[in-house]
Structure 1
Amino acid sequence: MRIAVTGSTGKLGRATVERLRADGHDVIGLDIAGAPGPGFTRVDFTDYGQTLDAFLGIDSRHSGLDAVVHLAAIPVNGLVPDVTTFHNNLTVSFNVFQAAMRAGIDTVVYASSITAMGFPFDEAPAALPLDETVTAANNTYGLGKVLEEAMVAQLVRWNPALSITALRFTNVVTADEYGSFARAADPGYRRSLMFSYIDARDGALAVSLALEHAEPGLEVYNIAASDSGSAVPTAELLALHFAAVPVTKELGEFETLMSIDKARSRLGFEPEYLWREQFAG
């Protein structure tokens, strides 16, 4: 397929472009920053005209797209004022979804987030592990992600052929960031993330599989590593932090508390890069 990746110069964007090209797709990177060249064009996605035009065609780049992978966003709270994060991300996502529909592109995969499930998880959840039925926002970035999912649920009603897949990524880690796992023996390490993480290369794998298995309608998937980001066994973490929370399934020794069962069963997603193998400490 010919696929545009928004936010292609970001941490997950770079891994996704590499993966999709390795899969044999023709990939056009689109982002607000980066050096223009073959396979990449600068686009300001807050400008709907630029967004639509980039999807319809770019001279010397493409004359039409089969799919869009939407990763562009202000990635976390705190980089700019909260209201700026909210306004930017909602505007960008609406522009991307609307432009894709206007351009006749029926397949979109985009980055939702565990912030749409309540990150940072200061409150004890109703049950563990967390699955895709959980929706909550505790900051403006998360509020934007909740509203994006609500918006997409309506857009797919308007166009029965439209397929949009929301991937709820947890904290994305690149190969050069595994040094942070030196703290993994601390039972409070990654507590706010429900102890989860995802290697950028496995995040890109999830994008590839979502494109491969795209069907009309909206689907939401949690995307995390299969193990926790903690050196403390999962049962001990549960006893220490969530003793009163019901556990809905039997969990492995270090199994993640961010359920990826749906992605496993429907997409065939199986993370390949786990910190216990990657960490050189």
Structure 2
Amino acid sequence: MIIGVTGSGGKLGRATVERLRSDGHEVIGFDTVGHPGPGFTRIDLTDYGQALDAMLGVTARHSGLEALVHLAAIPVNGLVPDAATFHANVAVTFNTLFAAHRAGIRRVVFASSITAMGFPFDEAPPALPVDESYSAANNTYGLGKVVEEAMAAQMARWGEDVSITALRFTNVVAPDEYEIFERASEPDYRRDLIGSWIDARDGAAAVALALAAGRPGFEVYNVAAPTSGTRQASRAAAARWFPGTPVADDLGEFESLMSTRKLQRELGFRAEHDWR
């Protein structure tokens, strides 16, 4: 397919572009920074005109996209004031999804976040591992993701055979960042992430699977490594962090407390990288 990837210069974006190209797709990257070349166009997605123009075609780049991966965003709270985070991210996602709708792109995968399901989990989730049925926003970044998921679910109804998939990514770790797991024995390491993490290359694999398996309608999947980013057993971590919260009887010894069961069951996801 000819696939557009917004946020192609980011950590997950770079891994996604590399993965999709290795799978044989033609990929056009879109981002605010970078040197324009055969596979990249600089774009400001806060400008709907640029978003629409880019989806319809860019001279010397493409004359139409068959699928879209939307990863562009202000990635965390704190880089700009809180309201600016919400305004920018929701507007960019609307511009991108609506432009894709206008351009007739029927297969879209976009990045949601663990922040749409309770991060930093100051309030205990209803059950562990936390699955896609739970939504809770505790900051403006997470609130934006909840809004974007709701918006995408409605927009998926607007065209025949339109598939939009939201991937709730946890903390993405690049291959050269594994030294962060030197703290994995600390009892509260990654508590705000309920112990979860994902290698950027496995995150890109989840994007590729979602694109390949996309079916009409809207779906949400958690994307994390199936095993935790801590050395303590998952049941012990759950008891320490969320005493009294129900835990699945079949929870694996080091299974992620951010459930990836749906991703594994429906899309066949298998992580290829483990910090251990």
Q: TM-score range by the shorter chain?
A: over 0.9
Partner Cα distance (2:186, 2:19) in 1: 33
Q: Which runs of 5+ in 2 are unaligned?
A: none
Match of 1:256 in 2: 256
Corresponding letter in the other structure for 2:82: D
Q: What's the CA shift string for 1:204-249, capped at 9, x where partnerless? A: 0000000000001000000000111101111221222223011124
Q: Name the amino acid aligned to 1:129.
A: P
Instruction: Map 1:91-240 onto structure 2 (within 5 A).
Output: 91-240=91-240
Q: Normalising by the residue count of structure 1, what TM-score does the alignment of the two structures yield? A: 0.97
Distance 1:226 1:72 in 2: 25
The alignment partner of 2:156 has SS state of helix
Q: Does 1:12 align with 2:16?
A: no
* C-alpha contact 1:67 1:105 (8 A) present in aligned 2: yes
CA-CA distance at 1:156 after TM superposition: 1.4
1:82-114 deviation line (CA, Å, top 9, x unaligned): 111111001100000000000010000000001
* Unaligned runs of at least 5 residues, structure 1: 277-281
- CA distance in 2 between counterparts of 1:249 and 1:24 reads 42
Q: Is the 8 A contact 2:116 2:143 kept in 1?
A: yes
Matches within 5 A, 1:7-46: 7-46=7-46
- Give the partner amino acid of 2:119: F
User: 2:78 corresponds to which letter in structure 1?
Assistant: G
Give the structure 2 partner of residue 279 of structure 1.
none
Distance in 1 of aligned mates of 2:125 and 2:46: 35
Q: Deviations over 1:15-47 (max 9, x none)?
A: 000000000000000001111111001000000
Give distance in 2, aligned partners of 1:149 and 1:244: 30
CA distance in 2, matches of 1:90, 1:238: 33
Judge conservation of contact 2:107–2:163 (CA < 8 Å) in 1: yes
For 2:111 and 2:59, locate their aligned partners in 1 and report how far apart those are by CA, in whole Å: 27
Contact 2:235–2:247 under 8 Å retained in 1: no
Determine whether 1:68 maps to 2:63: no
Aligned partner of residue 275 in structure 1, secondary structure: coil
Runs of 4+ with >6 A deviation: none
Letter in 1 for 2:45: F
Match of 1:275 in 2: 275
Q: Write the letter of the residue equivalent to 1:36.
A: P
Q: What is the root-mean-square deviation of aligned Cα atoms in Å? A: 0.8
